[in-house]
């Protein structure tokens, strides 16, 4: 098995609060650190009542400040929503507070809807300059050059590792061209996964940060003591994705006994397509399915999401997953 990491959207279960969700994130990160997970990422989303990580750099500071060794980062920052200078300052500050532990994954999507994008005071066309913005950010985090007028303080010289995130061929091509590690969002948009990995690996050009391709693949894993229990827990994300299909938003719903009573046949097809890279069951079931997936993708690392309603069951799911690596793999390339 490749190294495992955690993607946390800081889900807000129905009846809970953002404060409780962020407290759960720190608790889960501490468990992840003890269990040997490689990194713990939080993601930027806006105007979503079920996600508490909108102020992503602040959430990262919360988690990094409460842990000691695990890498903490963004999976990711939606760069078109921000100026590269502000992100360089934020992550330069994080890297100054927590040296050698901060990652910065960058996405091109807004992480929200068009109305909210306007509320962020960003031009919808800002994503058109994403490649240039990545290069500007990379320069701001690098060594100060002679005559450089604009500096990120903190930020300059921290060389926070950058990742390109994507769910299409665009991100794969950009990551390959810049010689950066690539994280594919197959935990919610899996259709172009294999093609994107092939493009990234075949076109990769070595860089100062990375000398060979490094592909992280996003998956959903919900593990429990039995297959039946895990499948019941999985009805929470199944309901959430059905709600996305319906154009509705809300907090993470509790599990239900029969998901077929919740979604229509057409909704089942759409939601199941988005959740295709999901591995649900008891330990042996998850092991068998993950091993086949890793053999197919040759993923260098798995970034694991688990939208489980009950926090204790969520922690237990990650414990079971960690048990699959009783004999640790070698240290990842990007430690």
In a domain, 259, yes or no: yes
Q: Which residues pair with 182 in a beta bridge?
A: 164, 215
pLDDT at 111: 57
- What is the number of other CB atoms lying within 10 angstroms of the CB of residue 111? 23
Tell me the mean pLDDT in the region 266-272: 98
Q: How confident is the model at residue 112 (pLDDT cuts 50, 70, 90)?
A: low
Summary mean pLDDT of the chain: 94
The percent of residues above 90 in pLDDT, for the chain, comes to 90
10 Å CB burial of residue 40 (0-12, 13-18, 19+) is buried
Q: Is the pLDDT confidence value at 321 over 50? A: yes
Distance CA 143, CA 92 (A): 12
If one counts the domains in the chain, the total is: 1
User: The domain spanning residue 97 has which CATH number?
Assistant: 3.20.20.30
pLDDT at 335: 53
pLDDT at 189: 94
Q: How confident is the model at residue 327 (pLDDT cuts 50, 70, 90)?
A: very low
Q: Tell me: the pLDDT tens digits for 23-66?
A: 999 999 999 999 999 999 999 999 999 999 999 999 999 999 99
Q: How confident is the model at residue 162 (pLDDT cuts 50, 70, 90)?
A: very high
In a domain, 297, yes or no: yes
Residues 6+ apart with CB under 8 A from 228: none
Q: Is the pLDDT confidence value at 306 over 50? A: yes
In a domain, 331, yes or no: no
In a domain, 334, yes or no: no
Tell me the mean pLDDT in the region 79-92: 96
In a domain, 333, yes or no: no
- Domain around 110: 4-323
């Amino acid at each position: 098995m490749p190294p495992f990491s955690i993607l946390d959207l800081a889900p807000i279960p129905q009846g809970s609060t953002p404060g409780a969700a962020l407290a759960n994130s720190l608790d889960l990160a501490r468990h992840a650190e003890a269990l040997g997970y490689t990194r713990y990422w939080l993601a930027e989303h806006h105007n979503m009542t079920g996600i508490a990580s909108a102020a992503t750099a602040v959430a990262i500071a919360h988690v990094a400040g409460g842990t000691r060794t695990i890498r903490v980062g963004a999976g990711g920052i939606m760069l078109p929503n921000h100026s590269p200078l502000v992100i360089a300052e934020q992550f330069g500050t994080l890297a100054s507070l927590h040296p050698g532990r901060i990652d910065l994954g960058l996405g091109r999507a807004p992480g929200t809807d068009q109305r909210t994008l306007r509320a962020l005071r960003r031009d919808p066309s800002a994503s058109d300059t994403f490649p240039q913005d990545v290069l500007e950010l990379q320069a701001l985090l690098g060594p100060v050059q002679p005559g450089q007028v604009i500096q990120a303080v903190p930020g300059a010289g921290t060389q926070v590792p950058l990742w390109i995130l994507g769910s299409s061929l665009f991100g794969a091509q950009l990551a390959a061209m810049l010689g950066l590690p690539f994280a594919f969002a197959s935990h919610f948009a899996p259709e172009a996964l294999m093609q994107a990995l092939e493009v990234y690996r075949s076109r990769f050009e070595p860089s100062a940060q990375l000398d060979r391709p490094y592909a992280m693949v996003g998956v959903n894993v919900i593990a429990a003591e039995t297959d039946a229990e895990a499948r019941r827990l999985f009805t929470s994300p199944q309901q959430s994705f059905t709600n996305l299909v319906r154009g509705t938003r809300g907090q993470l719903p509790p599990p239900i006994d029969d998901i077929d009573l919740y979604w229509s046949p057409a909704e089942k097809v759409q939601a199941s397509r988005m959740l295709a890279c999901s591995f649900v069951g008891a330990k042996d079931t998850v092991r068998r399915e993950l091993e086949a997936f890793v053999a197919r993708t040759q993923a260098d690392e798995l970034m694991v999401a688990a939208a489980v309603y009950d926090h204790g069951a969520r922690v237990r799911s990650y414990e079971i997953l960690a048990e699959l690596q009783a004999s640790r793999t070698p240290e990842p390339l990007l430690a």
